[in-house]
Chains A and B, each alone.
Chain A
Amino acid sequence: MANRKIFLLIILSLWLISLPAGVLASTVEENFKNNDWCFKCHGAIGLKMEWDGATISLYVDPVKYRASMHGTNKCQTCHPGINTYPHPSLPSRSRFLAEVNYNCRYCHDYVVKSFAGSAHDRDNVYCYSCHTSHTIFKSIDSRASTYRNNIVKTCSQCHKGQVLESYQESFHGKAVALGSKTAANCTDCHGKHNIFLKNDLRSLTNPANIPTTCARCHVFPRKNFAQGAEHFVKKPYGNGKIVYYTEKFFVWLTISVVVLTLIHIEMELYRRYKKIKAQKALMMTGGRHYER
């Protein structure tokens, strides 16, 4: 009898262990089915509409979405209440965006804490401004907008001009552009969710914190190593002055040296040409050797 009890207990516990996985699998199945229904319209390439003066795409790539981190979620996880067609009427576009954005915190509450009060904690910056809306991958996945070597592209959606150009010309920028996995990208120095204004003491780029920030990679955090402009302009004024004049000096040195040596070569060739012509005229060239 005891054996039978133990046998039953084992069966029962195995069933209990497999229960969540089974339920999850059926939930996922159900979500896929639900999403397929949405994709009947939203999986059509080129589906778009006019909304508050802007033309917005309503197309979501079903294959990419299913492969993404949120692929097993229902569409309604982020777009609650939209269960029927025709869809219930929506508020204005900006309110709709803000509402969808607000839904992120129901699962990702831990991010909210470090993001609060940061430079990006404002009206027109949303989670999906950086993370994309329907193609979210883990940051170690090369398809992710937050992947090491995609960060520059993601940030430069807004941060263009000098800050981008100076980075692309810097050694960090070149290394990252060529696929380096160790060189610093934007977030390595400026932080991820915890980006604050420079004069904020929490900011990684606050003058007081820069040595520690550099020391995340450069193991000898010498104080003077962290001094000086990073995003400098190569112009005859301002913080890139020295670099500008150094470059100008070498450009003109190169031009003058190359021009002078080329003139020398051309003159030598001219002399040889004359000589060969004269010798040919005299029918004196017998072989390879001739007087130079």
Chain B
Amino acid sequence: MSGKAYERFNIHHRIQHIMMFVSFFICTFTGIAIKYDQSSYARAFTKLLGGFENLLAVHLVGAAIMLIGSCLYHLLYLIAYVIITRKISFEALPTLKDFKDLYQNLKYFLGLSPEKPKFTRFSYKEKFDYWAVFWGIFIIGGSGLMMWFPDIAAKFVPRYIIDASRAAHSDEAILAIVVIFTWHFFNVHFNPDFFPGSLVWFHGKLTEEQMLEEHPLELQKLKEAKGGEG
């Protein structure tokens, strides 16, 4: 690494991401076995864990890690960040620029334009990933809690909502699994720039070169801020 390193993800972001992917894998391996219960994989994996009761317990442990270790932590972090630093950031919200960037990027891919879009702190790809998880947790977490505590859920919603939530839970999970293993894995693992994988999730830093390449407007902003200060 040459030049200066910029911190892109602080320790909280990184812990939230680690909690998320650890629980994602736990829930995927156990959840697929429940969804496709007639498959030989389901039989073998259930046997490996020593029975369905253990399979379900592991799935629920994964769910608890995801909901508490990642999501609740993230939401509390967002609130605490604003209160403690007295700063508020709307960088992660989708803007009109994201759609322009997408259009520009597609033109660039097709060779219709030599210019790549210039991204701010978060590119439209990263915003898509973030809000996809936000929506996914809302659906999967919500429906999962309804199935985990059906007695309580039945107090507020009729039975067919709980049944529909079960369909939503596994179908949304399949969407999440497919998108993670194609879209997200391409963007951070299989992409020739990062293969076999970007380590930003681990150290949270980007070099100046990488910043210039991937987030030029953010780099400019950081430099201006620094210039203004000193």
Q: Quick one: which of B34, B108, B154, B167 contacts A225, CB cutoff 8 A?
A: B154
> CA of A105 to CA of B163 in the docked complex: distance in angstroms?
43
B147 touches A228 (CB 8 A): no
Q: Is B94 an interface residue (CB 8 A)?
A: no
**Interfacial chain A residues near B116, Cβ < 8 Å:** 292
Q: A180-B51, A254-B175, A292-B193 are in contact. Are A171 and B147 (CB under 8 A)?
A: yes
Within the complex, what minimum Cβ distance (angstroms) separates B97 from chain A? 18
A271 touches B43 (CB 8 A): no
Q: Is B155 an interface residue (CB 8 A)?
A: yes
A225 touches B46 (CB 8 A): no
B109 touches A228 (CB 8 A): no
Q: Is B229 an interface residue (CB 8 A)?
A: no
A261 touches B109 (CB 8 A): no
**Interfacial chain B residues near A225, Cβ < 8 Å:** 150-151, 154-155, 159
Q: Quick one: which of A250, A267, A271 contacts B168, CB cutoff 8 A?
A: A250
- Band of interface residues on B: 35 or more
Within the complex, what minimum Cβ distance (angstroms) separates A73 from chain B? 35
Q: Is A229 an interface residue (CB 8 A)?
A: yes
Considering only residues 172-205 of chain A, those with a C-beta below 8 Å from chain B are: 174-175, 177-183
Q: A178-B33, A183-B52 are in contact. Are A246 and B164 (CB under 8 A)?
A: yes
A250 touches B175 (CB 8 A): yes
Q: Quick one: which of B110, B155, B178, B179 contacts A224, CB cutoff 8 A?
A: B155
A177 touches B179 (CB 8 A): no
Q: A171-B166, A254-B178, A272-B192 are in contact. Are A242 and B160 (CB under 8 A)?
A: yes
Q: Quick one: which of B42, B111, B161, B172 contacts A271, CB cutoff 8 A?
A: B111
Q: Quick one: which of B109, B158, B159, B161 contacts A270, CB cutoff 8 A?
A: B109
A177 touches B161 (CB 8 A): no
Smallest Cβ-Cβ distance to B111: which chain A residue = A274
> CA of A28 to CA of B218 in the docked complex: distance in angstroms?
90
Q: Is B38 an interface residue (CB 8 A)?
A: yes
**Interfacial chain B residues near A267, Cβ < 8 Å:** 106, 109-110
A247 touches B55 (CB 8 A): no
Q: A178-B34, A257-B179 are in contact. Are A224 and B164 (CB under 8 A)?
A: no
Q: A179-B46, A183-B52, A262-B182 are in contact. Are A243 and B109 (CB under 8 A)?
A: no
**Interfacial chain B residues near A257, Cβ < 8 Å:** 175, 179
**Interfacial chain A residues near B55, Cβ < 8 Å:** 178
Can you list 24 A-B pairs, Cβ within 8 angstroms, ordered by A? A171-B166, A178-B42, A178-B43, A179-B51, A180-B51, A181-B53, A182-B53, A225-B150, A228-B163, A239-B160, A240-B163, A243-B167, A246-B164, A246-B167, A246-B171, A250-B168, A250-B172, A253-B175, A258-B178, A258-B179, A261-B183, A264-B106, A265-B183, A270-B109
For the complex with contacts A222-B155, A227-B158, A239-B160, 12 further pairs of A-B residues with Cβ separation under 8 Å are A179-B52, A180-B52, A183-B52, A219-B151, A225-B154, A227-B159, A228-B158, A246-B171, A250-B175, A261-B183, A268-B191, A270-B109
